[in-house]
Amino acid sequence: MECGPREIITPFRPIPLDIPEGMAPNEFFNSAENLNDLVHNNGLLINPEGLLMYRKALGHTNEFDASIMYNTSRSVLNPLGRPVRRTQVPEQTRNVWNRMNQIMIEYMLEKYPSPTDALVLAGEASLDATWPLTAPGVPSIRMLHNHFMVFDMQQLRNAGIADPDNPNLTDGGQHSLFEKYMHDIYRQFMDEALELDILEANSDRYHRLKLTGYPQGLPCWKINGGAQTLKDPRFWKEYDSLLKGFIDFYRTFFSQVSTRNAPKPEDLDFPDAVENILLFNNDFLKTARMVRNRCIRDARYASSIRWQPAFKQLIYRNDSGDLITTISQNSIGNAITELLGVVVKRKPDAAAYEKSEPALIEKLLEVRDRLIDADLGEGIATRYWNKN
């Protein structure tokens, strides 16, 4: 079977929302009014920490698709002031979120035990606060949220090969600035800055999916111990350390792009590694110079730069049944599925969606019950399901 990224069609039921005249859709989607609609029409569970579990109305897959959002739509009215990554979430909220993540992933692996039959993934993307609200590609809900998805592998096998030049397929080997120009120094920094006991770095060949050939060129780590390890708080600390290392690298690089020979950024998590590895590396500084010069002469390119950290971080199951985690520069604002070579084309088709809706909702309510039993929230009633 041909190896390559797949493009699938996912039907959805159109959302009957009236967007006020004069507003762009992504401006409205950031509003408290829209989030109120999301809660009442698609909300599954909410807790005092402000975490909201909901069905994805415009989903990636109708096999299993849900999100957990840190809903700050009423407490932080400025969309640009909302938390956009895990490290900005209060510690107690983050602990609750980690437990919710663990239960959600455990449920998906239990329900879909074979990697031959199902692609299981969970992850998050930063919702970069540096682009204008109306810019194309900006996420519609500017709040941190996790995705939990399962794709039917037979559907992926039957799907057509996606256009390899699709700019949304941001794999490190083709599109990522870090990987294309700073592959070695990026890995050296992550290896030497992070002290990992549970996560184990692996080769590109090991973590790629045979069907799609993705992810490509990204540093990946095996989660030793598999699903059981997700119950260990130490894992989530190491998972956060990947993000912290990535952000230190990102901030340091773009500070050099912005200002030649800039001092190292403040409040780094790994200041010694930044000083000793990055700021004395010719390839790192040469690449910063290249990007800086292009920004000066190319207005369109300069406008596209995400000057603040933008990333995608996920956990997925590989062909061998092992859990893998990876992190990528979010340079375009694409879907997290495309890190694994899955391009989703959504199609409005209420009749097709409703055929899969009962089985989808049944699974969402099952995992909701597990979250409620673990004292992680209370159910929400909608027109499609009851509170309990």
307 and 370 housed in the same domain: no
Amino acid 285: pLDDT: 96
pLDDT, position 177: 78
Closest to 96 (Cα-Cα) out of 38, 39, 146: 146
Range of the domain at 250: 171-198+226-314
Q: Are residues 261 and 275 in the same domain?
A: yes
- Judge if 176 and 150 occupy the same domain: no
Q: So what's the pLDDT on residue 172?
A: 53
- Looking at the structure of the chain, the number of domains it has is 2
State whether 160 and 232 are in the same domain: no
pLDDT recorded at residue 173: 54
Q: Compute the distance between CA of residue 262 and CA of residue 257 in angstroms, rounded to an integer.
A: 9
Q: Does a structural domain hold residue 325? A: no
Cα 120 → chain centroid: 14
Q: Residues 160, 41: one domain?
A: yes
Instruction: Provide mean pLDDT across the span 346-363.
Output: 96
Q: Are residues 160 and 26 in the same domain?
A: yes
Contacts of 245 (CB under 8 A, 6+ apart): 189, 190, 193, 194, 269, 270
pLDDT digits (tens, 9 = 90+) for 93-119: 999 999 999 999 999 999 999 999 999
75-93: per-residue pLDDT in tens? 888 877 888 888 889 999 9
Grade residue 58 by pLDDT with cuts at 50, 70 and 90: confident
Please check whether residue 35 lies inside any domain of the structure: yes
Query: Over pLDDT 90: what percentage of the chain?
Result: 66
- What stretch of H or E contains 217? none
Residues 124 and 253 in one domain: no
Q: Are residues 178 and 297 in the same domain?
A: yes
155 within some domain: yes
What b/e sequence results for 214-241 when a residue is b if at least 16 CB atoms lie within 10 Å of its CB, and e otherwise? bbbbbbbbbbeeeeebbeeeebbebbbb
Tens-digit pLDDT profile for residues 171-205 = 555 557 787 788 899 999 999 999 999 999 987 77
Q: Rounded mean pLDDT of the chain?
A: 89
Q: Are residues 119 and 261 in the same domain?
A: no
pLDDT in tens, 20-30: 888 777 677 76
pLDDT at 133 exceeding the cut of 60: no
